[in-house]
């Protein structure tokens, strides 16, 4: 007789970690479908469409080269191929920058979905970062193209670049989780974010070779712990010098694990409350 | 009594509740209370925020649902009626797992699917992408969706507009599409909030048939509505919610009669928030 009545599950209790992860895995097709739709919607009213994903960073390289390379002459100090140095830095920093910004919109731009359907909300920041990973593919090709045009010759070390960006994607996901929940609390954050990210960019040595500018030992050591700097150095090493550094990999892995662990926990703690203002 | 014990051991449902008279229960609500916060509309000025030392904005607590208990069984279509502000919609959202119960608990045999009115999933995206996103979020797989896509679109009657952004749809079209998505995966428990009111006659017939189908597949359907006539036709049981409590639970005709009488007699409105 006991087989005839179904087991009843208590609703509204937050699932355990394992069940939560399983439910995210179950929705993996949702995570890959959302970014494709967003890309479609984003640039559908522009003539060049998704080409803008590539043109934006390339144009920025041009602007920054004009300001820092030609007018301020930053390139003279420490960076022998300044355009390549700048390109590698900008594309790498923008990977994180765009992931954070997409993450910030992940929850607030999907309120319709959240309010009508019960699904693990963590899918949304994951989808946001997946979208940036997809956009990163052609961006890397463009970056390598620019670097080749400036006279660098292909190296075996270039094969490391996808691995670096894979690790950086994990780091980005952690930040995206934090940005997604924080923006759900205070929508104002979306307005503050560009400034924070710009300050971070200036502090990360996108435009300058820090060794030529910072002389204080302690300050330099602190500067080099900055995760954005770590990822840029890994890319520059592989792309421009054909070198890589175990310490940088260790730092990058550490930052990524901490970011994704803390970010995920912070995001999940709010799971039941997304979309209820 | 062995049955009740087995169920209690498995799921800590109050004993004796999970099965009664051999019928299979789908949802058990056990003394459900839902209280939520409503923030005051008035935005504080910067000066006030500083004066308040950054304390949170003012809010009120609204006790929308105050102790609702019931049990539903396979094959039932349950209408939920009550005045505006009586807590019907909040109850439905709690049954859907979208709003946690402050006290008490809801047990269900599977995850209920809520179908609310006007819940545009993604206004900027095409109907096609909305169908795919909605169905994926509900837990369908891409192959399942591919198989059932035409049927969903056809049912909603939006074939000609399927590649247009959802924001260009009329409210009726959007509601039809939403209904088609939500009912496509034939959930065991479907919760409907006023969605039937927006369609035209033809669609009302179609959706009534779809509901009949769901019920016959041993599912349970809950419908919140103010159109008593339609509810009387399509429901097998009626819950009357008044001020967050169950005022009556029984045969539709009887409950509707009582409800109508109370509407006539007492012009008493639901208490203000």
Stretch 4-23 of chain A: residues touching chain B, C-beta under 8 Å: 4-12
- Taking CA atoms, B13 is separated from A6, B6, B10, B210, in Å, by 12, 10, 8, 31
Q: Cβ of A2 and B94 within 8 Å?
A: no
- Let me know: does B106 contact B30? Beta carbons within 8 Å: yes
In 3D, which of B260, B213, B209 has the Cα closest to residue B233?
Answer: B209
- Chain A positions touching B2 (Cβ under 8 A) are 1-2
pLDDT tens sequence across B153-177? 998 888 999 999 888 988 788 888 8
ipTM computed for the complex = 0.79
Instruction: Give rounded-to-5 percent helix, strand, coil for chain A.
Output: 75, 0, 25
Asked if B19's CB is within 8 angstroms of A7's CB, the reply is no
Q: pLDDT averaged over chain B?
A: 80
Instruction: Give the residue-averaged pLDDT of B112-121.
Output: 69
Q: Evaluate if residue B15 carries a pLDDT over 60.
A: no
- Report the chain A residue with the minimal C-alpha distance to residue B72: A8
* pLDDT digits (tens), chain A, 277 positions: 333 345 788 887 778 899 999 999 999 999 998 888 777 766 666 777 778 878 888 898 899 888 888 888 776 676 788 899 999 999 999 999 999 999 999 998 888 888 878 899 999 999 999 999 998 998 999 999 999 999 888 999 999 999 999 999 999 999 999 999 999 888 888 899 999 999 999 999 898 888 888 888 999 999 999 999 999 999 999 999 999 999 999 999 999 999 999 999 999 999 888 877 5
CA nearest to B113 within chain A: A117
User: In the prediction, which pLDDT does B197 show?
Assistant: 61
Place of tokens 């920054």: A64
CB contact under 8 A, B108 and A110: no
Task: Tell me which residue has tokens 């649902």.
Answer: B65
Residue A58 CA to residue A60 CA, distance in Å, equals: 5
Q: Which pLDDT does position B117 carry in this prediction? A: 55
Contact B84, A106 (CB under 8 A): no
**Angle, alpha carbons B44-B271-B92 (nearest 5°):** 90
């Amino acid at each position: 007789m006991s087989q005839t009545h179904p087991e009843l599950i208590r609703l509204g209790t937050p699932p355990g970690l394992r069940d939560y992860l399983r439910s995210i895995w179950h929705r993996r097709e949702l995570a890959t479908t959302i970014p494709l739709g967003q890309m479609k919607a984003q640039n559908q009213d522009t003539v060049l469409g998704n080409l803008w994903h590539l043109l934006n960073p390339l144009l920025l390289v041009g602007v920054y080269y004009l300001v820092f390379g030609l007018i301020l002459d930053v390139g003279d100090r420490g960076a022998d191929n300044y355009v390549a140095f700048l390109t590698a830095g900008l594309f790498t920093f923008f990977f994180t920058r765009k992931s954070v910004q997409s993450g910030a919109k992940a929850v607030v731009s999907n309120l319709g979905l959240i309010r009508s359907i019960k699904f693990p909300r963590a899918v949304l920041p994951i989808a946001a970062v997946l979208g940036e990973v997809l956009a990163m593919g052609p961006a890397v090709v463009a970056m390598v193209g620019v670097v080749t045009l400036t006279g660098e010759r292909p190296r075996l070390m270039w094969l490391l670049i996808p691995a670096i960006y894979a690790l950086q994607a994990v780091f980005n996901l952690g930040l995206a989780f934090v940005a997604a929940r924080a923006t759900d609390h205070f929508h104002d954050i979306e307005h503050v974010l560009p400034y924070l990210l710009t300050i971070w960019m200036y502090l990360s040595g996108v435009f300058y070779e820090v060794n030529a500018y910072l002389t204080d030992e302690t300050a330099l050591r602190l500067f080099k712990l900055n995760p954005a700097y770590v990822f840029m150095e890994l890319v520059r090493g592989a792309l421009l010098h054909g070198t890589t550094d175990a310490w940088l990999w260790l730092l990058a892995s550490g930052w990524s694990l901490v970011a994704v662990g803390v970010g995920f926990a912070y995001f999940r703690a709010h799971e039941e409350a997304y979309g209820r203002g | 009594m062995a049955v009740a014990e087995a169920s209690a051991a498995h799921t800590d449902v109050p004993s004796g509740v999970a099965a009664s008279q051999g019928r299979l229960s789908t949802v058990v609500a056990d003394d459900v209370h839902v209280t939520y916060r409503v923030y005051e509309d008035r935005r504080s000025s910067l000066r006030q925020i500083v004066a308040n030392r950054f304390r949170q904005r003012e809010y009120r607590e609204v006790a929308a649902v105050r102790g609702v208990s019931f049990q539903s069984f396979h094959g039932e279509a349950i209408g939920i009626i009550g005045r505006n502000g009586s807590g019907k919609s909040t109850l439905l959202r709690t049954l859907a797992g979208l709003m946690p119960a402050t006290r008490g608990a809801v047990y269900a045999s599977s995850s209920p699917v809520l179908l609310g009115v006007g819940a545009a999933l993604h206004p900027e995206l095409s109907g096609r992408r909305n169908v795919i996103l909605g169905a994926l979020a509900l837990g369908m797989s891409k192959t399942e969706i591919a198989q059932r896509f035409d049927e969903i679109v056809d049912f909603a009657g939006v074939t000609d507009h399927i590649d247009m952004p959802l924001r260009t749809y009329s409210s009726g079209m959007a509601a039809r599409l939403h209904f088609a998505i939500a009912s496509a995966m034939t959930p065991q428990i479907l919760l409907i909030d006023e969605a039937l009111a927006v369609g035209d006659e033809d669609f009302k017939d179609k959706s009534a048939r779809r509901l009949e189908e769901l019920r016959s597949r041993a599912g349970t359907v809950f419908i919140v509505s103010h159109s008593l006539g339609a509810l009387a036709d399509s429901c097998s049981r009626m819950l009357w919610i008044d001020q967050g409590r169950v005022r009556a639970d029984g045969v539709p005709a009887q409950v509707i009669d009582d409800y109508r009488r109370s509407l006539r007699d007492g012009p008493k409105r639901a208490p203000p928030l």
